[in-house]
C-alpha cells in the first residue's frame, strides 16, 4: 500500500513538472497577470496594441527625424558636426535635442517649407505663377529652392537665438554666483564644496553647470578638464575668464580665495559698466517709438482744434 501511494505521488509530481515546463498560453498569462495586478492584466494585448500604446513621439516622430538626419548629415560638411554639437550644448540642448535630432529637424522643416510654398503656388496667389498642372514655371522652382534653403537653416537661427538667451542669463547670474563662491571659500570651504553650495541653493543655468562639473569630478575627470568643459558648454567670455583664472591658480598653487575676491570685484565692475552702456543706449532706442507713435498723437492733440478754423478761413477766402 505504501509503495502504491509513493508511486502515485511521484507520478503526480512528474505531471506537475511537465505541465509547468510547457509554454503557457496567452490566456493563462493574461489571467495570471490579472490575478497579480488587476489593472495591468487588462492591458496585456497583442504586440500591435502594445506598439500603438507607445507615445506618438516614439512611434512616428523619432523614426522620421532619424531618417531625415541621415540625408541631412550627408549633404552637410563634415566639420560642422562638432560645431553643431557645441552650439546645441551652449543653447542648453533645447527640447532635449542632440546632433542627430537637430539634423533631422532641419530636414523636416525644409520639407515643410517646400510643401507650404507648393501649396501657395497651387492656389496661385502670386503673379506670374501657374498652378500645377499643366506646367511648373521657373518662378515656382525658384521659390521652391528659396523655401528649401530657408527651411534648412531656420533651426540654426532658432538655436542661435536660444544660445544668446542662455548666455545672457548666465552672464546675469555670474557676479552673484562668484560672490557666493568667494564668501564660502573665505569662510573655510573648499572650491568644490563652494560649488556644491551654489548648485544646491540656486536653480539657474549657471548652477546647473556647476552641478554638472561636480558630477564629472565624481566620474573621475580632473578638475582642469571638468572646468574646461564648462567653457565649452557655455561660451560666455566672462565665465571663461573666471574659469581660466581658477585653473591657473590651481596649477600655480595660488590662494583661490584671493583670486575669487579679485574676480568678484571685476565682475561687479563689468556689470556696472554694462548697465551704464545700456542706459546710454536707451535714448536712441526710445527715439523711434516716440517718432512713430507719440509725436503723431501730440500733433493731433495740439493741431486738431486749429484745423477747423484754418479750413474755415481758407474756405471763406
220-243 confidence digits (pLDDT tens): 999 999 999 999 999 999 999 999
Residues of the chain with pLDDT under 50: 1-10, 13-24, 40-44, 130, 132, 134
Q: Which of 205-241 are b and which e, b meaning 16 or more Cβ less than 10 Å from the residue's Cβ?
A: bbbebbbebbebbeeeeebeebbbbbbebbbbebbee
Contact 150/113 with Cβ under 8 angstroms? Answer: yes
Tens digits of per-residue pLDDT, 264-280? Answer: 888 888 888 888 888 88
pLDDT > 70 in the chain, percent: 68
The pLDDT assigned to 230 comes to 94
Q: How far apart are CA 250 and CA 254, in angstroms?
A: 7
181: CB partners within 8 A, 6+ apart: 191, 194, 195, 198, 260
The pLDDT assigned to 17 comes to 39
Q: Is the dihedral of CA 117, 123, 128, 130 positive or negative?
A: positive
Tens digits of per-residue pLDDT, 144-184? Answer: 888 888 888 899 999 999 999 999 999 988 988 998 899 99
Give ∠ CA 88-89-90 in degrees, rounded to 5. Answer: 90
The pLDDT assigned to 13 comes to 45
Amino acid at each position: 500500500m505504501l509503495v502504491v501511494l509513493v508511486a502515485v505521488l511521484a507520478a503526480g509530481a512528474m505531471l506537475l513538472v511537465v505541465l509547468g515546463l510547457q509554454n503557457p498560453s496567452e490566456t493563462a498569462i493574461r489571467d495570471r497577470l490579472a490575478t497579480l495586478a488587476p489593472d495591468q492584466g487588462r492591458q496585456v494585448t497583442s504586440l500591435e496594441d502594445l506598439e500603438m500604446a507607445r507615445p506618438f513621439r516614439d512611434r512616428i516622430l523619432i523614426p522620421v527625424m532619424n531618417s531625415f538626419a541621415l540625408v541631412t548629415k550627408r549633404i552637410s560638411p563634415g566639420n560642422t558636426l562638432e560645431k553643431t554639437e557645441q552650439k546645441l550644448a551652449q543653447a542648453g540642448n533645447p527640447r532635449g535635442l542632440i546632433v542627430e535630432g537637430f539634423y533631422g529637424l532641419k530636414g523636416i522643416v525644409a520639407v515643410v517649407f517646400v510643401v507650404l510654398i507648393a501649396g501657395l503656388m497651387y492656389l496661385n496667389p502670386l503673379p506670374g505663377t501657374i498652378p500645377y498642372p499643366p506646367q511648373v514655371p521657373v518662378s515656382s522652382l525658384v521659390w521652391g529652392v528659396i523655401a528649401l534653403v530657408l527651411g534648412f537653416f531656420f533651426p540654426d537661427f532658432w538655436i542661435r537665438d536660444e544660445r544668446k538667451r542662455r548666455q545672457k542669463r548666465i552672464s546675469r547670474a555670474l557676479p552673484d554666483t562668484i560672490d557666493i563662491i568667494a564668501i564660502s571659500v573665505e569662510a573655510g570651504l573648499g572650491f568644490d564644496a563652494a560649488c556644491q553650495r551654489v548648485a544646491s541653493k540656486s536653480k539657474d543655468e549657471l548652477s546647473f553647470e556647476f552641478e554638472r562639473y561636480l558630477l564629472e569630478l565624481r566620474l573621475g575627470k580632473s578638475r582642469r578638464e571638468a572646468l574646461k568643459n564648462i567653457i565649452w558648454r557655455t561660451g560666455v567670455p566672462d565665465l571663461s575668464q573666471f574659469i581660466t583664472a581658477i585653473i591657473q591658480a590651481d596649477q600655480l598653487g595660488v590662494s583661490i580665495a584671493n583670486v575669487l575676491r579679485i574676480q568678484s570685484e571685476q565682475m561687479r565692475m563689468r556689470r556696472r559698466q554694462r548697465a551704464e552702456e545700456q542706459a546710454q543706449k536707451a535714448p536712441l532706442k526710445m527715439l523711434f517709438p516716440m517718432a512713430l507713435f507719440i509725436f503723431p498723437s501730440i500733433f493731433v492733440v495740439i493741431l486738431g482744434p486749429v484745423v477747423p478754423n484754418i479750413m474755415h478761413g481758407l474756405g471763406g477766402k
